[in-house]
A and B are shown apart, each in its own frame.
Chain A
Amino acid sequence: MPSVDINIGPVHPALHEPEKFVFKVDGEVVVDVEPRLGYVHRGIEKAAGEKTFTQAVYLVERVCGICNVAHTLASVQAIERAFEVDVPARAKYLRTIIHELNRLHSHLLLLGVACELMGFDTLFMMLWRDREVVMDLMELATGNRVMSAYNVIGGVRRNISDHEVSTIRKALTSLSEGVKRYRKAFAEDPTIRARCVNVGRLSPFKGISLGAVGPTARGSGINVDVRVKEPYAAFDEIQCTPITYNEGDSWARFMVRIDELHESIRIIDEALNKMPRGPIRVPVAEVAPQTAESFSIVEAPRGELLHHIYVKKGEDRPLRYRIRTPTYANMPALCEMLKGGYIADIPVTLVSIDPCFSCTDRLTLIDIRSHKRKVVRLKSSI
């Protein structure tokens, strides 16, 4: 029987961002998927090349509002490497703390959205209520709920006082109790299990060959975590255990995230204990001291995030800026997960990779006469 095309998106209630998918279906079963990316391409990479280094950090912070700390962290680390600047130890710990707070808020947000898409609005409301605790901590520590503007080239913006440390500890202890209850609900609740178990399977072999990253890969038993494999910030001194589940279905991916909440709370606690005293920022030259190429990889809430930068001696702006975001890396794996599933399972599978499409959209050249697409290499575009 020939398959039928179903267009979902670019504007669709199940997708929170404009993105189009063409599903080829045979009856109720999805046979093939064709994603169409690019609706929210904003040209941030190009714009970053026209701003000074200081300004570019604020620009890349807006690639993704939810994982803004991961973006600024990757950006400032890449610039610091190119400039050969050493960051004070306390700043590294503060970066780690805010980075993990950001992960807590992102994971709670995603788990809430997943519950909403499953039709489990009670748990959605509870998760988002507890997310407010993290948002308040972000506000206390950085000065804004979402756009933290915390990491700067050479260190961090604000110090954390002893009083704030105790506030963070107290709030995270109560959050930890809540997360335990939600973990139990995710692990045992019949509604969640019926909607997630065996839905959107990704085998470890496919996961590796399609280049899945972050919780998507870890849900298939692939042990990848930048925090462990390539420690950055204070992760070389803080112990971090990667969380993996071997099931490879949507349920496993949600469980990875919920266990990572516990892990993040533990990391923040350890960082607060070990944090040395001292300066939080060093002055950095405004122009590049040498011609260099550098990159930085961090574990964003959605997976590994890469910022790649070229600088030229004497210039105050980057020559070329390149960002590789985790959702982009997860797209081939997502298409694989959707194949063979039911139409009704599409939203759960889609949300289980924690898609963030506004960071995904990248440069593709399309020849309008021949409709041929061409992907431009970094070197040739300088």
Chain B
Amino acid sequence: MRLPSLLKEVWKNLFEKPATVKYPHEKLGVPESYRGKHLLARSRCTGCGLCGEVCPASAITMEQLGNGIFPVIDLSKCIFCYQCGDACPRGAIIRGREVELASWSKEDLILK
């Protein structure tokens, strides 16, 4: 009987480093291009509301904060497509790389 061709690779696996990492203790990180939690540059924002208009998930509302109207992003609704960043004429919504967004309460997921 011929040996299955995968046997060599199976044997090799016994001596190799595991393909997985122990996640919370060891992290792989994300590439530069990753679409994570947004960074809002309020100094650039004019409060035009275009980001809220285009949002496919209706996750962005415009609210009175301090002395102006600014976008408020509900991350529990956000689908991280960054159409808001594309639509912003002033580049006030900047792509962030934070991915660990789990939270105990929904209030923590509201990004102001």
Contact = CB atoms under 8 A, between A and B. Distances in A.
A93 B98 CA distance: 30
Contacts of A123: 6
A278 B55 CA distance: 28
A240 to B, nearest CB: 27
Nearest to A125: B19
Contacts of A52: 54
B79 A140 contact: no
Interface string A187-201: 011110000000000
B4 A141 contact: no
Secondary structure class of chain A's binding surface, majority of residues: helix
Interface in A49-79: 51-52, 54-55, 58-59
A144 B35 contact: yes
Contact of B34 (A58, A143, A190): A143
Secondary structure class of chain B's binding surface, majority of residues: loop
A54 B54 contact: yes
Q: How many interface residues does chain A have, given as a range?
A: 20 to 34
B110 interface: no
Contacts of A190: 4
A139 B56 contact: no
Interface string A123-166: 10010010010001001111110010100100001100000000
A294 to B, nearest CB: 21
B100 to A, nearest CB: 15
A143 B5 contact: no
A181 B6 contact: yes
A185 B56 contact: no
B14 to A, nearest CB: 12
B4 A149 contact: no
Interface string B36-57: 0000000000000000001111
A55 B57 CA distance: 8
Nearest to B80: A144
A55 B34 contact: no
Contacts, number: 64
Given A55-B56, A188-B5, A139 B30 contact: yes
A209 interface: no
A143 B10 CA distance: 33
Contact of B81 (A122, A140, A149, A185): A149
Interface residues of B, number: 23
A184 interface: yes
Given A158-B33, A181-B9, A149 B82 contact: yes
A122 to B, nearest CB: 6
Interface string B68-88: 000000000001111100100
B19 A132 contact: yes
B6 A147 contact: no
B31 interface: yes
Contacts of A189: 4-6
A139 B55 CA distance: 22
Contacts of A181: 5-6, 9
Given A54-B83, A147-B80, A149-B82, A184 B56 contact: no
A360 to B, nearest CB: 23
Interface in A14-73: 51-52, 54-55, 58-59
22 contacts: A52-B54, A54-B56, A54-B83, A58-B56, A58-B57, A59-B56, A122-B6, A139-B31, A139-B33, A140-B31, A143-B33, A143-B95, A144-B34, A144-B80, A149-B35, A149-B81, A149-B82, A152-B86, A157-B86, A181-B6, A185-B4, A185-B6
Interface of B: 2, 4-6, 9-10, 19, 30-31, 33-35, 54-57, 79-83, 86, 95
Given A54-B54, A123-B6, A143-B35, 11 more contacts: A54-B56, A55-B54, A55-B55, A58-B56, A136-B31, A139-B33, A139-B34, A142-B33, A143-B33, A157-B86, A181-B6
Interface of A: 51-52, 54-55, 58-59, 122-123, 126, 129, 132, 136, 139-144, 147, 149, 152, 157-158, 181, 184-185, 188-191
